[in-house]
Amino acid sequence: MKTLTLKGLQRCRGSVDLPGSKSIANRALLMAALAHEPTEIKHLLRSDDTERMLEALAALGVKVCESTTTQVTVVGCGGQWPLQPASLYLGNAGTAMRPLTAVLAATLAAPVLLTGDARMQERPIADLVDALDEGGADISYQNALGYPPLLISQRLQGGTIHVSGSASSQYISALLMALPLAPQASRLVLTGDVVSWPYIELTLTMLRDFGIKIIQVSQQEFHIEGQQQYQSPGEYWVEGDASAASYWLAAGVLGGGPLRIEGVGGKSIQGDIGFIAYLQQMGGKVTVHDEYIDVQGGQLHGIDADFNAIPDAAMTFATLALFAKGRTAIRNVANWRIKETDRLHAMATELRKSGAVVEEGEDYLIIDPPEQLKAAQIATYDDHRMAMCFSLLGFSDVGVTIEDPDCCAKTYPNYFSELQRLT
């Protein structure tokens, strides 16, 4: 197995241009494909997840013309797919599997099988399938009940649809993207405590950019007219990944800065920009501008906070806790368990290797840092965020060895080369 050892990193300074957001990039690609006119997408993230979406769109007959690797023109087909593949393989890309399940249910011309890798077949999707079935679709499980692969064989019609928001906001975003294409008007009702609400707001903002009208009746209810048409904005810029910004914000604090993070700032439509407020609460010195962020070090102390709104970025606090004075508690992150791996258990297991005392609950971690960090070899579980989070231990005297660092290709292929450049 390939490993990478980082040790005694002294500074982190300079300027880094973030890759495009995975969440925005895959939504933009699919919305552009659903429009009738071409859309030029700029600052597109090229990673494993976006490649799975691009492959799926190509299999459906959508023409994508590359000007550069990060600038493409999607020739939309208005939801009338030129090709009807029998199956689509989506790897472990949740940002492709969830929206395509809903959108293909709304635009179906022939049955299609959606499948993925071994981990994707362990990631639950029953809440989304139940909602689509309630709206008239017919989706059947081809292996384990509640998990991909899925066979979609009957079209979504609309009507009153209920969906639980307690496991993943991606189910809600998928329905918000699909229901405007249904033949009937829809009433979408969210049940339970909705997680990652900022991602739903991101989806609603992007839908407005692509000409879709959705009426939010209350905090957990939407009215959506059917037979709407996606409209190209002409050009669409994919802002930098706010989740990825968390690693540089943390590195800038640990390495003293000054570090400028380009591509995301106060104008961001991503909820993970909220990471900054928690980092400032922890002692980080951060200044936010409209389109970039400056970080200049800080002295860290533990915090106790509810991170339900920013679960991806919250992972970075788990390793920052090892450099903080006192206890850190990361709460209300139950959906870590259904991500690329069971992140709650994986994070607890790997933190303990560094000497930390960690309490793992059903939806929380409580971390007491050790007096002296231990050198550790960290398993990454084929999870990009595990690798990037634990890279921060390179700022310790004992250092860290990261197993399978190339798993970062899912969202940030050149992360470690950038870390080397800036440190």
Do 195 and 310 lie in one domain? The reply is no
- Give the residue-averaged pLDDT of 371-394: 97
Do 161 and 277 lie in one domain? The reply is no
Among 194, 223, 252, the domain-final residue is 223
Structure-derived torsion over alpha carbons of residues 95, 29, 241, 289, reported in degrees to the nearest 10: -140
pLDDT of residue 338: 87
Does residue 284 belong to any structural domain of this protein?
yes
Does residue 270 belong to any structural domain of this protein?
yes
Does residue 233 belong to any structural domain of this protein?
no
Do 202 and 272 lie in one domain? The reply is no
The fraction of the chain above a pLDDT of 70, given in percent, is 100
Q: Can 312 be counted among the known catalytic residues?
A: yes
Cβ-proximal residues to 309 (8 Å cutoff; 6+ apart), any chain = 196, 197, 198, 271, 274
State the total domains in the chain.
Answer: 2
Do 215 and 254 lie in one domain? The reply is no
Do 31 and 9 lie in one domain? The reply is no
Do 150 and 284 lie in one domain? The reply is no
Do 45 and 171 lie in one domain? The reply is yes
3-state DSSP assignment of residue 364: strand
User: What DSSP string runs through 12-73?
Assistant: EEEEEEPPBPHHHHHHHHHHHHHSSSEEEEES---SHHHHHHHHHHHHTT-EEEEEETTEEE
pLDDT digits (tens, 9 = 90+) for 7-55: 999 899 999 999 999 999 999 999 999 999 999 999 999 999 999 999 9
Do 171 and 188 lie in one domain? The reply is yes
Helices 169-178 and 94-107, axial angle in degrees (round to 10): 30
The sign of the CA dihedral 7, 11, 14, 20 is positive
Do 27 and 172 lie in one domain? The reply is yes
Do 262 and 122 lie in one domain? The reply is no
Does residue 235 belong to any structural domain of this protein?
no
Annotated binding-site positions for 3-phosphoshikimate: 22-23, 27, 168-170, 196, 312, 335, 339
Among 175, 193, 223, the domain-final residue is 223
Do 78 and 204 lie in one domain? The reply is yes
CA distance 230 to 36: 7
Q: Could you tell me the pLDDT band of residue 195, with boundaries at 50, 70 and 90?
A: confident
Q: Could you tell me the pLDDT band of residue 270, with boundaries at 50, 70 and 90?
A: very high
Tell me: pLDDT of 125 over 90: yes
Tell me: pLDDT of 68 over 90: yes
E runs forming strands in 283-406 = 284-288, 292-298, 304-306, 328-331, 357-360, 364-368, 376-378, 400-403
Cα 241 to the center of its chain, rounded Å:
9
Tell me: pLDDT of 167 over 90: no
Identify the CATH number of the domain in which residue 247 sits.
3.65.10.10
Annotated binding-site positions for phosphoenolpyruvate: 22, 94, 123, 170, 343, 385, 410
The sign of the CA dihedral 294, 296, 297, 302 is negative
CA distance 94 to 125: 10
Host domain of residue 33: 22-223
Does residue 230 belong to any structural domain of this protein?
no
Pairing type for strands 221-224 and 215-218 reads antiparallel
Does residue 234 belong to any structural domain of this protein?
no
Tell me: pLDDT of 86 over 90: yes
Annotated binding-site positions: 22-23, 27, 94, 123, 168-170, 196, 312, 335, 339, 343, 385, 410
Does residue 228 belong to any structural domain of this protein?
no
pLDDT of residue 339: 87
pLDDT of residue 67: 97
- Selecting among 312, 382, 383, 397, the annotated active-site residue is 312
Reading the block at residue 248, the tokens are 């540089």
CA distance 164 to 193: 8
CA distance 289 to 311: 23
Do 114 and 256 lie in one domain? The reply is no
Q: Count Cα neighbours of 417 within 13 Å in the Cβ-side half-sphere.
A: 6
Structure-derived torsion over alpha carbons of residues 171, 177, 178, 181, reported in degrees to the nearest 10: 170
Does residue 417 belong to any structural domain of this protein?
yes
Among 167, 197, 223, the domain-final residue is 223
